[in-house]
Amino acid sequence: MKQFVPAFASLFAAFVLSAAPLHQAGAAEPHHAKAAKATKTAKASKPAKAKVAKPKAKPARKAPAVAAAAAAKTIDYDGEQVNFAEWQAVRDFGDEMVAKHGFERGEMDALLRQVRFVESAVQLVKPAPPGKPKNWQAYSERFIEPIRINAGVRFWNENAEALARAEATYGVPAEILVGIIGVETVYGRDTGRFRVIDTLTTLAFAYPEAPNRAARAAFFRSELEQALLLARHEKIDPFSLLGSFAGAVGLPQFMPGNILKYGVDFDGDGHIDLRGSTADAIGSVANFLIQHGWNPLDKAPTVLQVSVAPSRAWEPLLERGLSATLRAEELLGAGITPDVPLPGERLYGLVDLQNGAEATEYWAASENFFAITRYNRSYFYAMSVLDLGRAVREARSDALL
């Protein structure tokens, strides 16, 4: 990441972290979308109808000015000023950072005294109340719409070189990378304005009551550790890291630990900057997908629509989890009829997209579809990535005619 003017410049100046291998298993929708439900985009029209600018190939650039401007503004929540340094569990965390990573005790206490408790993060991390039926079409309309498609065409035109290079390097199609970044942050427009240190500390030590509370709190505690290591590694003020209510950062909304694991310096400037470098964001998303099962040799369609038999012998196939484990003949034998022949040399999973009171859609999905679900564990999310990427590609092609 690039240098910021740090309020805590002295906090990490004394430490040098040796180079380390640089998202998230997410909710059913991107974090920024959950935090900004009141801001709604126009209802989608057919993607090909969207008005788009003529493409102009340009080298990868820094993130949109709107994203930089948003980061420069004040944070968009009122955090409660509490002295986290007095909480025993937080002091234990500080002791661990001192013993394990060489942080200085006094400076760690000084940092923790500046952390704010963020009640809105506690509320937003709670699951949605039960009872509301899932509706794929309603979900899709929020992402496959003209504003996002036009922004995607501009992003592709302005970053064509980096997208082509990532596709050649990793084997992930450009439209998939464009789809993910568009769904996550509208190409850098909505990267989040929570201080990551605030939200991660809050969720690590005050996670709301839930059956999985201990596991989730441990996850956020680990991400807080990684965020501090990331800030030290990149020599930035940890409080300059802004992101979602859950601590996800930058154009692709990586959690801090995943920036350290999967982030790529794709623009070659010596820093991994997912907030300011579109090239780094593109390369990092491609690397994440490859590391989570994307098969670059599979050129067939990622999903194929199918019909299901009234016998419902196929229902147990929906319980196979987020992975492709079924041969084509197993699907056919269970009463599943594809709209087009299924390539027989690959494995599939059966995906259901519920539409409220309307008929459910069923799809045979390849391992590449499930690689996208490692980014966000939701069929709706993965399908919207595919649909948005395809819509942007088609709109961009139309503009060339």
Give me the active site residues, please: 184
Q: Cα dist. 385→66, 77, 99, 155, 367 in Å?
A: 23, 29, 42, 15, 15
Please tell me the distance from the alpha carbon of residue 159 to that of residue 310, in angstroms, as a whole number.
47
Q: List the structure tokens of 116.
A: 């704010």
Q: How far apart are CA 86 and CA 64, in angstroms?
A: 40
User: Which burial class, exposed, middle or buried, applies to 275 when counting CB atoms under 10 A from its CB (0-12, 13-18, 19+)?
Assistant: buried
How many other CB atoms are found less than 10 A from the CB of residue 31? 27
Q: Which helix (H) or strand (E) holds 96?
A: helix 88-101
The token duo for 198 is: 């605030």
Beta strands in 226-357 (DSSP E): 242-243, 303-308, 336-338, 349-355
Amino acid making up residue 184: E
